[in-house]
Structure 1
Amino acid sequence: MFPTPIAKTSRTWQISYQILVPLVMLIWLLPLLAVANFSVKPEADFVNGNYWGIPSSFDAISNYGKVFFESNMPRYLFNSLLITIPTVIGAVALSCMAGFALGVYKFKGNLLIFFIFIAGNFVPFQILMVPVRDLTVSMNLYDTKTGLVLFHIAFQTGFCTLFMRNFIRALPFPLIEAARVEGIAEWRIFLYVVLPLMKPALAALAVLIFTFIWNDYFWAVVLTQGPDAQPVTAGITEFNSQFRAAYHLMSAGSIVAALPPVIMFFLMQKHFIAGLTLGAVK
């Protein structure tokens, strides 16, 4: 039923496994390596058709300098921070409270409300493009960071509530009952009993939502235009023009845009893994 551990397999399979894992990893990393290679190439290499070969000269300082000092990339990065951080805080805060209510209290309609939260995750977000855009226009939120933040919070709260509700239901309920016997108010139980136990889940969820929102491209293009509100994923298209595409600058901008989620993952790696594996072993 379960796969045999590698250590208990034949020596031939162990050697094959040790060869295949780095090979598969290299194939998986090829697109990223190609973008990194493009980001240090001079523009002449693309004109001459040297797409995949060794750069004729390493122009990393020039390319990344143009990205930071001769474009709106710093502004796009700042926009992404102003969009992503409030979204993470809002979605996680709302889902903690909703998950606590749905996971701890037993009332009529509990499952129905929970299913409504989940149902939004099964709707293809592309079909919402026109109504969401019309809604933001009617509310004067089109092409604003506030509109994008509110939409992302609304869209991500369903998944976050599913995550938090299931996590809270796995917590030892006698702790909550003991707090109630002591006469502690429900909001204090949430703040001082349940919330401290949810730190691994909060860290894991924050990393996931941060990555989802930071890497969003579809809604960034649909709901914003121009450097005043666009995040970095949409702002990279600034290096394209009608008759020319600066692939070397676009690649450098892509590497810069990918760094914040990677940095956050490594900073929160310990808590992220703990949050995903908590409850897997008793």
Structure 2
Amino acid sequence: MTTTATPRPATGRAGGGDRGATRRRPSGRRHYGTHLFLVAMAVLWLVPLLWTLYTALRPKEVTDRYGYWSLHGPLNLENFATAWTQGGMATYFGNSAIITIPSVLLTLALASMMAFAVSRFSWKFNLTLLIMFTAGNMLPPQVLAAPLFEMFKHTPLPYSISASGSLLDTYYAVIAVEVAFQLGFCTFVLANYMKALPGELTEAALVDGAGVWRQYSRIILPLCRPALAALGTLEVIWLYNDFFWPLLFIHSGDQLPITTGIKNLQGQFLLDYNLIAAGATITVIPTLIVYLALQRHFVAGLTLGANKG
């Protein structure tokens, strides 16, 4: 008697694999709510900017006749040329560069050193120092305005350095305050990033005879380039747009940064909003250039660790 083996249906691992493949397929759901929210936020941010640019391109006579919320009249660049010459934009751009560039470089340099100390070494006061640096950002700047003003006023400097004979009415006062207030945030961000780096890197360097400075400058600092680029972009935007501290500490009109120089576009009896809009648009150009130049590093720094775990 002969028997014929009937093939069994493949319901084992292959079936499980098919079901697993089915489960791994994307569901195909469309996040309409998320997309609608993002579009609404983009419109909310873009409409004022675009309307400011549109106002800057319109002559004042046209807006006086038809109103600012109209679409009549020609468009030209006369307001930009007038704002550049009448407002002294070239001088104020230079003043902003004198304040912003050293402030950003000093902040990143000091913050990276402090972050290296509290993240790569275990000692008694590393957590305490990190908390102190971070807690400094909790104080509103206005609380310290009067004490800092009096302190700078009574800090003597040679007249060859300061025309006022004190730290007041100098770039040094603004730079020192900007660095002090931004140091805590940058230290906190860089310390968290450095803690994520493998500890074997510095241990291997220590075995090879590398000192602390070489570990910091040759090993850790190059690996922090994305984080430094992201922080550098943010710091340039924040310090360049700062209005409070320069207005408080600098009294000479020819030393004010660009954010306070826009006041020169205001008339004594009449406000030319078209001219002010043109001046405000001009002030945005440097920060826009910095962001576009560092956009790739900025996005990479913001998304660090997004794919971990």
Q: What TM-score, normalized by structure 2, do the two folds share?
A: 0.82
Distance 1:238 1:49, change over 3 A: farther
Aligned length: 273
1:51 equivalenced with 2:68 (yes/no): yes
3-state SS of 2:197 partner: coil
- Structure 1 counterpart of 2:146: 130
Distance 1:126 1:215, change over 3 A: same
Indicate which of 154, 158, 176 corresponds to 2:202.
176
Distance 1:20 1:149, change over 3 A: closer
Distance 1:45 1:136, change over 3 A: farther
Amino acid at match of 1:36: L
CA distance in 2, matches of 1:18, 1:156: 34
**Cα shift at 1:26:** 2.0
1:103 equivalenced with 2:119 (yes/no): yes
CA distance in 2, matches of 1:9, 1:192: 47
1:201 equivalenced with 2:227 (yes/no): yes
3-state SS of 2:209 partner: coil
**Cα shift at 1:22:** 3.7
**Cα shift at 1:171:** 0.6
- Structure 1 counterpart of 2:246: 220
RMSD: 2.0
Distance 1:50 1:203, change over 3 A: same
**Cα shift at 1:56:** 2.2
Amino acid at match of 1:89: L
3-state SS of 1:242 partner: coil
CA distance in 1, matches of 2:182, 2:34: 38
**Cα shift at 1:159:** 0.8
Q: What TM-score, normalized by structure 1, do the two folds share?
A: 0.90
Does structure 2 retain, via aligned residues, the 8 Å contact 1:36–1:251? Answer: yes
Q: Which has the larger radius of gyration?
A: 2
**Cα shift at 1:20:** 6.0
CA distance in 1, matches of 2:29, 2:172: 56
Gaps of 5+ in 2: 1-25, 156-165
CA distance in 1, matches of 2:151, 2:227: 33
1:9 equivalenced with 2:35 (yes/no): no
Does structure 2 retain, via aligned residues, the 8 Å contact 1:99–1:168? Answer: yes
Q: Which runs of 4+ in 1 moved over 3 A?
A: 16-24, 45-49
CA distance in 2, matches of 1:27, 1:46: 23
Does structure 2 retain, via aligned residues, the 8 Å contact 1:68–1:74? Answer: yes
CA distance in 1, matches of 2:61, 2:251: 31
